[in-house]
Amino acid sequence: MPLAQTLLLTIYYVLLALVAAVMLYRGLLIVRYYMRPRGDEQPGSRFPEEPVVTVQLPIFNEQFVIERLIDAICAFDWPRDKLEIQVLDDSTDATVAVTRAKVAAMRAEGFDIKHLHRVDRSGYKAGALRAATPEARGDLLAVFDADFVPTPDFLRQTVDYFCDPTVGFVQTRWSYLNRGYGMLTQGMGMLMDGHFTLEQVTRSRGGYIFNFNGTGGIWRRQAIEAAGGWQDDTICEDTDLSYRTALAGFRGVYLRHVTSPSELPVQITALKSQQHRWAKGLTECFIKLMPSLWQSDLPLKRKIEGTFHLGANLAFPASLFMTVIGLPVMLVRVGSGTGGGMSQVVDSLVFLLVIVTQVLFYIVATRELHDDWVRRMRYLPFFPLIGVGLAVNNARGVLEAMTGLRTEFVRTPKLGVLGQDRALVKKRERTYTGGRDFWQAVVEIVLGLWYVWMAIVHAREGLVMAAIVTAMLSLGLFVMGGATVRALGIRRSAQREQLATLEVGAVSGS
């Protein structure tokens, strides 16, 4: 066999092994989940009186949801003299005026609430938290993103865990106010249930490092300071701080049975920006934290777990590149007479591993949380379609992290639409249209066409099942690419409307 063909097959099998390792780890998470205690940890003692708590609300252009968030925080069942609210506002749009007016109204009602507006947005969310924390009254710092609506008893259910001086943070499970909006939100809800049920429970109750999720939880100020404070050299500042506090001797507490209601993205483009940020940020944490993790005194099993946790997104570029070279590999096998036997067995086993672990992961998570879990299984097609569609998006994030490319912290648009009012979504989404990912959309559509060609070749070679699966997966890439093209059209339309408004205003002024 020529050297080039040998090299191609070697690369293919290395990538196949990496994907298989990540899927095996995912399968082991399911097994380990059932080995953990079934209930949440309980506080060892209670505070004799309520401590001062500072609630920090980092926001950026959240005009549709900020008033709802402030109302929810002011409704906390907590003494007013022990509750401080910091609105960390980096906004550049109408949110500033809306927030200023809301804060003034709540101050008039007797709440200790401050509007801290920055104009440079340096360090993004981490920078805002770092700037505000020295001014906070409380030693306990609760953090909520703008799309959250915490319940009045949130502090009552979480604060007493800090009687244990080793607890650095408490994280609650996210629930979703708009899960019933459509197929996208139902699928995303199932995806997030997998993380918050299997991953967080398995790691936290097994004594492993698990990550604060950026919102819906509380930090101990001393833990933040011991770890070196909020840092902005990654765009997953929450995961970064979680690992640094663990290395500094603190631990996290995860409460599966305490929920923080929130809002899911209702646009595919919003989902893409969110998933890109998480994939890139976790990989940045992987690069940053691996030396410290492996040089620490932590047990070997915790180091291995942390490596798989932070490095899991490496599977995205691996699987994407494996897909690209999959057709040449098949043709090389056919031409060299090695396309059958063991080669097909290995490919089939890995493919089966991917399918089984993915399906089981979300079935188990859904069954654990929802009584009507059988009915919810109709949303499982979300994963092969959207999951494959996100491959380009997330692989891009991983590659940006690996090459050290610094990009803007792109926040996920929150529209404040909790029902199924699609007209309101259509109206509000014009505020947040970006369209900066045109070339990514091109790649997604081209790769979708490549999948179609692969399906044709598979069918020609008699691999009917492979042809059907490959053709179906191409739909996810077309959906992702098409969503960005649509966003570009909305953006251009909004720009034309703004220009027309300015022209009318200029004529009227003259």
Active site residues: 90, 238
* Strand-pair category, 167-176 with 140-143: unpaired
Measure the CA–CA gap between 54 and 434, rounded to whole angstroms: 34
- Is residue 249 within 8 A of residue 243, CB to CB? The reply is no
97-124 burial: b if 16+ Cβ within 10 Å, else e: ebbeebbeebeeeebbbbbbebeeeebb
Six-digit token string for 222: 């001393």
Sheet of strand 251-262, all strands in order from the earlier edge strand to the far edge: 112-117, 83-89, 53-59, 140-143, 217-220, 167-176, 251-262
Q: What is the 3-state secondary structure (H, E, C) of 146-187?
A: CCCCCCCCHHHHHHHHHHCCCEEEEEEEEEECCHHHCHHHHH
Residues with Cβ < 8 Å from 209, sequence gap 6 or more?
203, 242, 243, 246, 252, 302, 305, 306, 309
Six-digit token string for 136: 């906070």
- Is residue 56 within 8 A of residue 389, CB to CB? The reply is no
Measure the CA–CA gap between 362 and 383, rounded to whole angstroms: 10
Neighbouring CB atoms inside 10 A of 223's CB total 25
Six-digit token string for 18: 């990496």
The three-class DSSP label of residue 500 is helix
Measure the CA–CA gap between 433 and 464, rounded to whole angstroms: 41
Please state, in angstroms and as integers, the Cα–Cα distance from residue 171 to each residue in 96, 138, 230, 286, 505, following that order.
Answer: 29, 18, 17, 21, 50
Burial class (CB in 10 A: 0-12, 13-18, 19+), 95: buried
Measure the CA–CA gap between 270 and 486, rounded to whole angstroms: 13
In single-letter form, the type of residue at position 262 comes to: S
- Is residue 276 within 8 A of residue 396, CB to CB? The reply is yes
DSSP 245-271: HHHTT-EEEEEEEEEEEE----SHHHH
Query: Which residue is associated with the tokens 């900020």?
Result: 66
